[in-house]
Amino acid sequence: MKAQTVYAFTFELMDKLAQQILRMFEQWNKETLDLHELFEAGGNDPAERTAVFDTVERLVKEGLLEERGNDFFALTEEGKKAVRAEDRAQPEAKP
């Protein structure tokens, strides 16, 4: 299996919340996001915000996000590869 295929496959198996969190860096065009920005993925619901926190912790443990201190996080190289591979795997939308 090619590396980009493995990353796309890995990304596809992630839950929707994890995918959304990883994509936020690209969508907001930022290298780092703080935890409060990442909470946006869960909206205002306290349970969803807890899920975001737990998912961020899991992504750090899995090596897709890294802590940058003071509640800031960034995609690791592995996280960037997973997002890029998924972008390549998606068919282009036709107008």
pLDDT tens for each residue of 30-63: 999 999 999 999 888 888 999 999 999 999 999 9
pTM for the structure as a whole: 0.78
40 Cβ neighbours under 8 A, 6+ residues apart: 24
Q: Where are the domains of the chain?
A: 3-89
Cβ–Cβ contacts within 10 Å for residue 80, how many?
16
CATH (residue range 3-89): 1.10.10.10
pLDDT at 15: 83
Which position has the token pair 């997002």? 83
Q: Nearest Cα to 51, choosing from 62, 40, 61?
A: 40
